[in-house]
Amino acid sequence: MKNESRDYKHNNHSVGMATVHLVWIPKRRKPVLVGKIRVRLAQILNEVAAERDWIIKALEIAPDHVHILVEYDPKTPINSVVKAFKGRSSRLLRQEFPELLKLPTLWTHAYFYDTTGKISSAIIQEYINDPHHSK
């Protein structure tokens, strides 16, 4: 089952696609996601996605927040997707960049998510890739 613009995931008893737009912020919305930290964060997020066969369709790392549009296995709960990205990145970034230890935690517990059923992934991707996030 294939639509012209979408490749659906086929499982034993289902066919579908799950794409979610996620946004999260550092603790106290500190603008710490810059320079080498920003570059390393992008590497970590891409590694997490690759290990799980997720596809990052768009990624924007602003100094004080992260936007990511990711296609993932529909059997995976959204909170598990968030936990995978935030958990690994927090642990590794705080190990590699001691200045981040000044924050009690790297990320807040909160996050925003929106599945892309109401609007197209292309519109969200365009929004994330818009240069208004860069400072």
Residue 68, pLDDT above cutoff 70: yes
Q: Residue 49 is part of which domain span?
A: 16-133
Confidence of residue 2 (pLDDT cuts 50, 70, 90): very low
Tokens linked to 64: 């004080």
Q: What's 111's domain CATH number?
A: 3.30.70.1290
Residue 107, pLDDT above cutoff 80: yes
In a domain? residue 11: no
In a domain? residue 10: no
In a domain? residue 22: yes
In a domain? residue 8: no
In a domain? residue 57: yes
Residue 9, pLDDT above cutoff 50: yes
Residue 4, pLDDT above cutoff 50: no
Q: What is the pTM (predicted TM-score) of this model?
A: 0.82
- Whole-angstrom distance, CA of residue 68 vs CA of residue 124: 10
In a domain? residue 36: yes
Q: Is 51 exposed, middle or buried (0-12, 13-18, 19+ CB in 10 A)?
A: exposed
Q: What is the pLDDT of residue 135?
A: 57
Question: Of the ranges 64-78, 84-98, 108-122, which one carries the lowest mean pLDDT score?
Answer: 108-122
In a domain? residue 48: yes
Other C-beta atoms within 10 Å of 61: how many? 19
In a domain? residue 1: no
Count up the domains in the chain and report the number.
Answer: 1
Q: Three-state SS for 61?
A: strand
